[in-house]
């Protein structure tokens, strides 16, 4: 779980010389519950320019503060994720997202990179399926 208050403090220090609108975007992202799209964020912040929202999201993603998710082939969604390396399990029915802290695929990724001559910058793993709540709900209605 992300410690939102600690993260908010760190972000405020990091963005201390940022513009007012950029600070508003950061505060809103830290307070947001669950995942969101850039467009949802833009709609919730009509006083902030679209370009500022997108640039701030890009900066937060680059810093590892938020994660970018692809859910069901839709536009990218974002999730506050702290700065630790992790992956996601995504429910294709309700959209719930579960963080997976222990990656377990590092050796595989290194082997594939070496085989094809890549120098890795990173990797991301997203696993898609239906969560236990959705599976249980479907079974209960049958």
Q: What is the pLDDT of residues 92-131, one digit of tens each?
A: 888 888 878 777 788 888 899 999 999 988 787 888 899 9
Mention every residue, 6+ apart, whose C-beta is less than 8 A from residue 61. 67, 68, 78
Q: Supply 104's token pair.
A: 């377990």
Query: How many other C-beta atoms can be found within 10 angstroms of the C-beta atom of residue 53?
Result: 23
d(CA 9, CA 23): 12
pLDDT at 5: 62
pTM flag (> 0.75): no
pLDDT at 59: 85
Q: What mean pLDDT, rounded, does the chain reach?
A: 81
Chain centroid to CA 18:
22
How many Å is the Cα radius of gyration of the chain? 17
Under CATH, to which class is 1-84 assigned?
mainly alpha
d(CA 142, CA 137): 9
**Total number of residues shown for the chain:** 142
Q: What is the pLDDT of residues 59-97, one digit of tens each?
A: 888 777 888 887 766 788 888 875 567 788 888 888 888
Mention every residue, 6+ apart, whose C-beta is less than 8 A from residue 137. none
What pLDDT band is residue 140 in, cutting at 50, 70 and 90?
A: very low
What CATH number has the domain spanning 85-142? 3.30.1490.190
Query: Among residues 41, 3, 5, 1, which one has the least CA distance to residue 22?
Result: 41
Query: What are the residue ranges spanned by the domains of the chain?
Result: 1-84, 85-142
């Amino acid at each position: 779980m992300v410690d939102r208050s600690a993260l908010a403090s760190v972000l405020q220090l990091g963005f201390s010389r940022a513009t007012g609108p950029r600070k508003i975007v950061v505060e809103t992202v830290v307070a947001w519950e669950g995942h969101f799209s850039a467009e949802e964020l833009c709609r919730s912040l009509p006083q902030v320019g679209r370009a500022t929202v997108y640039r701030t999201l890009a900066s937060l993603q680059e810093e590892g503060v938020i994660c970018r998710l692809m859910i069901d082939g839709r536009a990218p969604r974002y999730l506050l994720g702290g700065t630790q390396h992790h992956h996601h399990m995504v429910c294709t029915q309700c959209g719930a997202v579960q963080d997976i802290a222990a990656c377990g695929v590092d050796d595989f990724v290194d082997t594939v990179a070496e085989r094809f001559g890549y120098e890795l910058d990173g990797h991301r793993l997203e696993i898609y399926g239906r969560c236990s709540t959705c599976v249980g709900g479907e079974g209960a209605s049958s």
